[in-house]
Structure 1
Amino acid sequence: MSDPTTNPTADAEVIPLRPAPFGSAGDDIIANPTGSDAPVRDAASAADIDTSFEVQFDPEPDAEPEPVDDGIGYLLDDPDGDAYPVIPENLRSAAGVGEAIGRHARRLAHRAAFHGVRAPRYALLAVLWGTVGLWRLIDRQLKWWWVSEQDYLRSLAIASGDSREWYKLHREVKDTRRVRGTILAGQAFAVLAALLLLVKLAPWWGWLAVAGVVVPWLAHLGRPEDHPIIVPAVTVPRFRLLNHDVVLRAYYAAGLGHPDKPNQQVTFETTMSRTKEGQGSQVKVVLPHGTGFDDVVKAKKELASGLDVAPSQVYLTHDPTSHRRHTLTVTDRDPLAVPAGKTPLLDCKPRNIWRPAPFGLDEHSRKVTLTLLWISILIGAQPRKGKTFSARLLALYAALDPSVRLSVVDGKNSPDWNKFAMVAYHFIRGTVPGRAGDPVRQLIDALSEIKRHIIDTNDFLSTLSPEECPEGKLTEELCRRYPKRLFIWMLVMEEFQNYFELPDQDDNKQIAELLSFILAVGPSSGVILLSSSQKPSGVGAGDVQRLFNRYRDNHAVRFALRCGNRNVSDAILGGDAYSEGFDASALPVGKPYLGVGYLYGAADETPTVRTHLADHGDAEKILTAARRLRERAGTIAGYAAGEDTGTPDRDVLADVLAVFGSDPALHWTELAERLAGQIGDRWADVTAGAVSEQCRALGVPSVDVKRNGAKTPRKGCRKDAVQRAADTGAAG
């Protein structure tokens, strides 16, 4: 790579940067002495460079870096900083040291087992190539003794007819052979004497010691260079080692500048270096004037093509001080295709909701944890991309804290959440009434109860003295002091959009208003809202649509897995995410990428997270342990304890028959009025449409009914049809 030159178009004096050796880390960044601008590196001449990249193969096996463990919480170091911690975060506790020792012990055990199984093969190959090596050693010694290197000179003397030169060379070679022969005779005598001494005096382990030294040396001498006897137990990473010229070629190919046009050159503020984790290369790029970070985001795929890597290996970090500047990071391998592994919750130990929950690994293999308190979380994706599994990970963490009350609402009525019935205070499935009652009414009652809890919590906190509650908000100490009044409550809303699209608009509006209140006020009162949806937009109309959008947009933290298009991604992550370089519709597709998404709003950085895995069997194991923990703590309540957590479940047909009286048929409007008037605790504010839908779902036909001398019939139902449906249901 040619030496860089200064940029003639820069506004300030520029010091050229000396390229560092490829792959070096920790290069000093040369500052601009004028202080008016950062150092840049012009590479307009790089267009003539043919070298596209350098390939480093077979690095030292022990040189591969260990993943950096940031400990609890997702905290990133300053990307421009060069100070490493004196003691790594993961080695500052006994647990961290034990984990590091265990990791290295597992690696050593694997290598020992790998080579132990192949030890007989290694021994046979060592004997075979040792024999070849012995023959090569004898052949070399004989050639050395015979002065074979002089054969060419004597042949040349004969060819030229120079007899004097030949006689001279012949005398020299005779003298040399005499000396070397004496040396070889001494060597042979020494070897023979040593062998006789070994036979006479050495025990069996002495022979093994000699063989352990001599045979490997002879085998190394005899084996071909490309046929190692001992093969590596782990794969050796192979990756492209980028340089400045490759990066420039990629940017120009992506249309982000031009090497020959004035003021259109791409420059660098830092030298190319390895990332702190040692898993990629990074450099700070300065775009031409008039080109910004948005342009780089749009050209990310073209940029990846120019770098000859996958788009999931390219990461762009915006510089908040300048729209022209950003940090380009290119990982050695596709980090998103490497699974994060099983959830650490499988140890089934009790958790503390006041501590961060393990969620997965980011693109640099650092642990990503999420503090669940004081936030609301929205998870969105296409079907079968890991949305439910991701939400369930966080709910499982809450379940392992016996003091947390769980309300699980599954709008799609799938088996994914069924095992939560063992620990849930509310457990509501689907939208259609059944033997378990009316889930819509159960949801309204549950949300109303959570709303009352929020109001009661705030009222109780306001009665506490400033000494006991100095900031006027919930704390871990207060929850321990008043466990009956103050506790954390997690509300899980799976496919929550289904409860905004009910046939009864009154139910839609009531649910929307309750959820909006809980989302706005609940987090400060210890209510954690965990919402997931595959349809985050285009729901409802009028006030319901407005409340839905407000509910969706006010979630503090968003996690977007693979989406169908950019509009869906923007609906989940928010409108600003795309301009910052995050588009969930551009995430890679395929089985290796299930559970991969952007975690937006949890910290200043937005990591690309590979979530941990907890399948159905894992979830059942964790929830069984959570049930035992709650039984010991005495916190099993509500649905999990077989209690009625709200208004009694409706037996729709029995209630309808009870209000029919002696009338053979009733209009739906009359039936709704009688239900609300006579059984108000279960049917308050019910509408004719809701009654009609629930009865028809249970097999009662909607027919024309004439009553009270009306000339035109109106829709309703007959008592005998309700009775037949009730008898059929009882028999089934």
Structure 2
Amino acid sequence: MTAPDDDRFDWQAAEADLTDAPGAEVVDLDDARARRAPRPRPAAGDTHFDMPLDESPQRGGMLVDPPPASPSGRRPILPAGWSGWRNIKHSVRQAAELAAYRAGFHALRAPWYAAQAAFWATVGVFRVTGRQLRWWWVAEQTGLRQAAADANDPAMWHKLHREVKATRAWRGFVLTAEALTLAIGGPIVWATAPWWALTAGAGLAVAYLAHVGRPDDRPIITPATVAGRFRRVNPDIILRAYYAAALGNPDKQHQRVEFGSTMARDASGTGSQVSIDLPYGKTFDDAVKARGAIASGLDVAVSQVFISRDPTSHRRHTLWVADRDPLAVGAGRTPLLRCKPTDIWAPAPFGLDERGNKVSIDLMWTSMLIGAQPRQGKTFAARSLALYGALDPYVKLSVFDGGGKPDWRKFSLVADRCAFGLAMTRDGDPGEILLDALRELKADVQDRYERLSALPVDVCPEGKLTREIARDPRYRMPVRMVVLDEFQEYFDLGEQSKEIAALLVYLVKVAPAAGVILIDATQRPSGVGTGQVATQFVSYRDNHQVRFSLRTGSWQVSDLVLGSGAYSEGHDSSTLLPTYKGVGILRGASDATPTVRTYLADQEDAEKILIAARKLREAAGTLTGMAAGEDITRASRDVLADVRSLFGPGERGLQWEDIAARLAQRMPEHYADLTAESISAQVRAFGVPSVDVKRAGKALKGAKADAIDTAIDRRKTA
């Protein structure tokens, strides 16, 4: 729909947009067009907004007739709340609960209502009497007689005097009749009328007198529920906002903003929405960049304005304006507090989006980056997903927190490997524990790909991990979840950081496809490390598939967390208010990029969930590693695992000299003085044959990857 000409466009109507009740507002623009012109779409300048705004009845916050959801534009015959037995039961239950609440609310206050009614009824008696006397005295004529006297008009004065005398005589007779009726008829009625009639009459009389006696701003009965006050969206307001944001020009025919759909309340009853067609040449990106200006024109907060892309046209988008700030209301406690077993192969509950829809994340085959300023809920968001993994007893969990906060320490109840902070502990050096875990994880990932490739098609149809394989102890390939909070700290550990960085980059690129879930959180997504470590940090950060950014300090930092191009698409976590806790933008988990209010699981909730998770693992026999009390600190290295981790993709054999050199380079603290002869002796002690390995045209003795895998399998089954 195009904007009207200025001489017919009432900008003042845009100000009359506040309501005291959340009544649904539906403006059927198609019907308006049909009434004005027989054509399907009126010519530019023929359409204006001088039609009344229709009001659709509302029940319980839901539209009786919701906006059309089908492509045909037809509304359902039956309202959504009364379509289907489940909806009917829900609507009846909701109405009954509301009625019961109101009854209880007013029943408790009934004595106070009665006292107020008695007091104001007494006042009402005097007010009614005063009104009757003023009516009898014809007080309104006093000014007319005074005006006649001032004008020295005795004829008019005498005429008015005669009229007032006659009127007073007649009205005095009426008042006398009223008084006699009350004096004589009152006792008779009191003596002859049944009790219920007397009670009803007295109640009505008291109610009337109390209504007359009370001040207008002092209601006797307090409402049990308070209707919300929100800004109503109508065509005038939207056009004002878009023109103020320089997205069109009402004076130019081809620069007018049009409506692409009927304006209506959304199905959830929490806001208003409409499709907007920008002028030709204006794009969805222009609307996104002007979101703040649109919010100003609508006279709402930026967090109440949401613009979503329309796949049919790049100049069309859907504008949704929330009645209230949807991000200021928390999502509530996590559903994991039920402490029921979870399934990592099913989506994990994460929170609610801006429209109250549940948001879940498929964790399988995923690496997730969480970034934010301190104290914005970053750790809570990562921990909620880790708790979901903990409640699946078949998930092998590793948790490392570079900050050493208390938030993660209870995960030692279930974690196969865990370390908190960077200071030395009884379990050893946290950096060394992480390094050992990453080496073991890399070896496990490489081993998995080999074994998955060797499985028959009927067991592993697509050559990738399945739920059945992951939960079958014979295959020894459980889903693994690795959680790193404040992971930037591990890129700044000196010499250890080089190997940690290399291992993390390898894992984030390769491990998810092998059934390893990576969840990483940081408050510093850039400027970490120097040289090669800094390059690897950037590579590690940028290779996460799913991104979640809570409030950041600038749009540049937001883009680092959400990924390049997020800002140009209208996603900027720096615009989130500081008062929002646990609220962030989720990108990459689905086609949509919602703003999510994460579920809350505080320290006590997490401990309760982790105690239940430990019991589940004990019952399933899957408690391993440090949680099971195993000493993971190795006085002597697992030589076979270390050698196997050296083989790169496509390398089927390595010469002993290369093995010794690589071990000395990657693990100097254990293999600094290693020689080809000594590593050959150690590996051959496990039954690995020394064979000719050709490299760079030269054949020397070495070891084959298949032989090392066989030795590892043989040792595990021994």
Asked whether the two chains share a fold, i.e. TM above 0.5, the reply is: yes
CA distance in 2, matches of 1:463, 1:395: 31
Deviations 1:140-184 (A, max 9, x none): 67888x696997999899975699999899889978887897688
**2:518 matches 1:532:** no
Contact 1:26 1:82 in 2 (8 A): no
CA distance in 1, matches of 2:329, 2:670: 54
Please give the secondary structure, in 2, of the residue aligned with 1:620.
helix
Contact 2:4 2:250 in 1 (8 A): no
Residue aligning to 2:296: 305
Contact 2:44 2:253 in 1 (8 A): no
Describe the shift of the 1:254–1:374 C-alpha distance in structure 2 as closer, same or farther (beyond 3 A).
same
**2:389 matches 1:398:** yes
Q: How does 1:454-603 map to 2 (within 5 A)?
A: 454-462=445-453, 465-482=456-473, 485-504=476-495, 507-541=496-530, 543-589=532-578, 592-603=579-590
Describe the shift of the 1:179–1:644 C-alpha distance in structure 2 as closer, same or farther (beyond 3 A).
same
The counterpart of 1:194, out of the listed 159, 180, 189, is 189
Contact 1:40 1:267 in 2 (8 A): no
Shift of 1:396: 1.6
Shift of 1:298: 2.7
CA distance in 1, matches of 2:184, 2:248: 76
Which AA in structure 1 matches 2:191? L
Contact 1:410 1:430 in 2 (8 A): yes
Shift of 1:381: 0.8
The counterpart of 1:427, out of the listed 408, 418, 427, is 418
Describe the shift of the 1:255–1:489 C-alpha distance in structure 2 as closer, same or farther (beyond 3 A).
same
Query: Which piece of structure 1 moves more, 535-544 or 238-247?
Result: 535-544
Describe the shift of the 1:635–1:482 C-alpha distance in structure 2 as closer, same or farther (beyond 3 A).
closer
Residue aligning to 1:229: 220
**2:606 matches 1:609:** no
Contact 2:3 2:258 in 1 (8 A): no
Residue aligning to 1:330: 321
Shift of 1:536: 1.6
Which AA in structure 2 matches 1:571? L
Describe the shift of the 1:107–1:430 C-alpha distance in structure 2 as closer, same or farther (beyond 3 A).
farther
CA distance in 1, matches of 2:215, 2:461: 77
Contact 1:647 1:681 in 2 (8 A): no
Q: How does 1:686-701 map to 2 (within 5 A)?
A: none
Residue aligning to 1:667: none
Residue aligning to 1:684: 670
CA distance in 2, matches of 1:85, 1:212: 44
The counterpart of 2:343, out of the listed 352, 357, 361, is 352
Describe the shift of the 1:127–1:103 C-alpha distance in structure 2 as closer, same or farther (beyond 3 A).
same
Which AA in structure 2 matches 1:347? R
Deviations 1:235-281 (A, max 9, x none): 43112223333333333333333333564333332354323322223
Return 5+ residue gaps in structure 2 as ranges: 7-13, 18-22, 64-68, 638-659, 675-718
Shift of 1:314: 1.8
Percent pairwise identity: 46
CA distance in 2, matches of 1:391, 1:309: 32
Contact 1:399 1:626 in 2 (8 A): yes
Describe the shift of the 1:448–1:617 C-alpha distance in structure 2 as closer, same or farther (beyond 3 A).
same
Contact 1:360 1:368 in 2 (8 A): yes
**2:230 matches 1:239:** yes
Shift of 1:425: 1.1
Q: How does 1:62-211 map to 2 (within 5 A)?
A: 64-65=61-62, 111=102, 114-136=105-127, 160=155, 191-197=186-192, 202=195
Shift of 1:128: 1.1
- What RMSD, in angstroms, separates the aligned Cα atoms of the two structures? 4.9
Residue aligning to 1:441: 432
The counterpart of 2:369, out of the listed 353, 374, 378, is 378
Q: How does 1:651-670 map to 2 (within 5 A)?
A: none
Q: How does 1:717-732 map to 2 (within 5 A)?
A: none
CA distance in 1, matches of 2:288, 2:589: 21
Shift of 1:323: 2.8
Shift of 1:558: 0.8
CA distance in 2, matches of 1:519, 1:594: 28
CA distance in 2, matches of 1:417, 1:578: 32
Residue aligning to 2:634: 647
Describe the shift of the 1:265–1:168 C-alpha distance in structure 2 as closer, same or farther (beyond 3 A).
closer
Describe the shift of the 1:428–1:154 C-alpha distance in structure 2 as closer, same or farther (beyond 3 A).
closer
Describe the shift of the 1:467–1:620 C-alpha distance in structure 2 as closer, same or farther (beyond 3 A).
same
Shift of 1:112: 5.6
Return 5+ residue gaps in structure 1 as ranges: 8-18, 67-76, 651-672, 689-732
CA distance in 1, matches of 2:42, 2:505: 51
CA distance in 2, matches of 1:687, 1:537: 36
Contact 1:569 1:585 in 2 (8 A): yes
Shift of 1:611: 1.7
Query: Which piece of structure 1 moves more, 435-444 or 36-45?
Result: 36-45
CA distance in 2, matches of 1:129, 1:457: 83
**2:609 matches 1:622:** yes
Contact 1:457 1:485 in 2 (8 A): no
Deviations 1:578-605 (A, max 9, x none): 121001122222xx31211101112222
Describe the shift of the 1:120–1:378 C-alpha distance in structure 2 as closer, same or farther (beyond 3 A).
same
Deviations 1:92-116 (A, max 9, x none): 998x999989987876676566545
Shift of 1:649: 9.7
Contact 2:550 2:573 in 1 (8 A): yes
Residue aligning to 2:678: none
Shift of 1:382: 1.3
Describe the shift of the 1:308–1:163 C-alpha distance in structure 2 as closer, same or farther (beyond 3 A).
closer
Give the paired residue count: 620
**2:307 matches 1:321:** no
CA distance in 2, matches of 1:191, 1:284: 66
Describe the shift of the 1:172–1:251 C-alpha distance in structure 2 as closer, same or farther (beyond 3 A).
closer
Describe the shift of the 1:89–1:599 C-alpha distance in structure 2 as closer, same or farther (beyond 3 A).
farther
CA distance in 2, matches of 1:234, 1:341: 22
Describe the shift of the 1:41–1:345 C-alpha distance in structure 2 as closer, same or farther (beyond 3 A).
farther
Deviations 1:174-226 (A, max 9, x none): 7888789768856765543332246xx74xx9876665555334423432322
Contact 1:44 1:259 in 2 (8 A): no
Contact 1:559 1:599 in 2 (8 A): yes
**2:621 matches 1:634:** yes
Contact 1:409 1:493 in 2 (8 A): yes
Please give the secondary structure, in 1, of the residue aligned with 2:255.
coil
CA distance in 2, matches of 1:253, 1:209: 59
Describe the shift of the 1:154–1:439 C-alpha distance in structure 2 as closer, same or farther (beyond 3 A).
closer
TM-score (norm 1): 0.71
Contact 2:306 2:320 in 1 (8 A): yes
Describe the shift of the 1:99–1:577 C-alpha distance in structure 2 as closer, same or farther (beyond 3 A).
farther
Shift of 1:491: 0.9
Residue aligning to 2:246: 255
Contact 2:394 2:471 in 1 (8 A): no
